[in-house]
Structure 1
């Protein structure tokens, strides 16, 4: 008997994953999707590894319960702090086929394409920087690349409070960029290691040399997912294809709908989702 196909789940701690989700839909419009934002417990970037793992696992299990067989963690912090444990510890407990993928691996697989000097800067949350996921993964593929990291703890609050285009945001954008570039003047590539940061890309460009390449993840992740489904037809067969999209948030629906459109590029209508008793 054929296994039941279901939507692809896309999870983020809040809104940032919508920048990735938008590109996934553009690349693969025929699939069904459920997006879940854990806005009630954001931000993840300042939380411990154990807390991020527990929160992420709860949301992943919720998406499994909604019929998803493939889930994308469209959140760098969740990918850094929870993905491997979920893959190694939790997925083997299921008798059927389920997959959870992240956003860091697809980005680091291509890191060598972007740099000439072999010096890359990572801009990310405290949690992602503390995990050292980017240096570890890049080193697996490109041992010759030097990776420098900079935590940008105020960038997510700037974006989520819709202050990312304000004059006041410039100070904090320049501050973290200066701190990163002081680590190495040879950095020629910046990877935006948080899905919120593309909304700051114009301000970032103001304060770095035009020779520096700025890499956003959304397109990379979308194309990687398309390639993954092509290489794994057994997983593709578990993904339903009716072109539907649903949005859920653990926080305020009104707040989510208002802010989500900034990230997603068009109006979003979400439903509230409690994770209790899942």
Structure 2
């Protein structure tokens, strides 16, 4: 939806050199093999100018070589795994992102925890590749702050109840909780914390801002603190225009993930700018 909003705006004012932009859309179904197959199809068969997307780090990682070896630009707008933009040397890489990588998010959270005078952090992390990478970044960030996790508990994505795990973390004597997982499971974490009456502050990555976290927890995410790259602000012109035009295309209320939409929207405009800049230095009008 974020990409569609941007493309509609751009085409309404003439597109690129009078040519309308066209989205070629594929669904990787959060499956690495499907994501790899679509990457090959888009780059080799559809001959796309660039690719925008990936919501899962594991899916993105499996497909990176397709874009890099063929020198085809990929802008990752949702997946946050640090490794995505660390695989190739920056000066040679065709892999870019508008999502805040986990290394930045974990450091931001730990710095905020330290700033609040909290020192015993409990970590509740899923067992996916996203969780594995996030845990590594969390422990590194804690180490840089001179802190160590009071307890670490892992769980599988799709879990419906985490009350037992939450009690285990509470019993560790922790004074702060970081839940590292995706939107729905962030809701499960918040619900479990509320059910056992554990009142320490809850921190999390951007997935904690998803509408699914609020829905699954039935509002119990209220008061949690999370990393965000954008907030709905009707007093900022571009922000307001994005929200208004998004609403015209989608009846989704609230937006399931404003950051996913906004970061993808920005990526389309960044790509357009790059296309114009490239034209100024190349004989190839593409």
TM-score (norm. length: structure 1): 0.46
The one of the two structures with greater contact order (alpha-carbon pairs below 8 A, sep at least 6) is 1
Please identify the structure whose Cα radius of gyration is greater: 2
